[in-house]
A and B are shown apart, each in its own frame.
Chain A
Amino acid sequence: GIQVEQSPPDLILQEGANSTLRCNFSDSVNNLQWFHQNPWGQLINLFYIPSGTKQNGRLSATTVATERYSLLYISSSQTTDSGVYFCVRIGNQGGKLIFGQGTELSVKP
């Protein structure tokens, strides 16, 4: 079936550092989101980005659909960035979400 692979699986950063999270897909991407699940369990939409580049404050994302990958950039990380980042492909049938295994990010003060 369709696979979504994220790397790295976990990451520890010092506050203020930058990072790049990667998501690879086994098939062509036409519907993709990045989520942040914070330590309280809330799922926060970061980007809906089937292709191209988007920026929102310190975060930006790029999806290269033809090469089957997406990148999430976090600049000047803060402790509130801690949590798990999921790359999610939205299936065409019934909105089924196909999750990557997530990147667990811990930002230390």
Chain B
Amino acid sequence: NAGVTQTPKFQVLKTGQSMTLQCAQDMNHNSMYWYRQDPGMGLRLIYYSASEGTTDKGEVPNGYNVSRLNKREFSLRLESAAPSQTSVYFCASSFDRGLGEQYFGPGTRLTVT
């Protein structure tokens, strides 16, 4: 039981490049989330997926797209990376939206130059 896994762990991009962050969970959770954490701050919600087949915007969705590929996998795409997207990205899952505890992946440290 791996919990929540994320790839890659580290990534450096040039401005304008694109990339996809991958997330998978093996806990049979319905809801999955993408957050970003900037220095000295808590996590801010980018997008979430309450259940397979649905996605919704969080607090800071601009510049990102997501795909809930199946119940296990939720990916985050940066179409044209900007330096303001330099951050640590965390994926999380919970049994149901807004209910129960959230479990976090190890994070992806992204630098955009």
Contact = CB atoms under 8 A, between A and B. Distances in A.
B99 A97 contact: no
Interface in A62-98: 86, 88, 90-97
B37 to A, nearest CB: 8
Given A45-B102, A90-B98, 14 more contacts: A31-B99, A33-B102, A35-B104, A42-B106, A42-B107, A43-B90, A45-B104, A86-B42, A91-B98, A94-B97, A95-B45, A95-B48, A95-B98, A97-B42
Chain A's interface size range is 20 to 34
Interface string B74-85: 000000000000
B31 interface: yes
Nearest to B3: A45
Nearest to B106: A42
Contacts of A91: 98
Contact of A102 (B42, B94, B98, B101): B42
Contacts of A101: 42
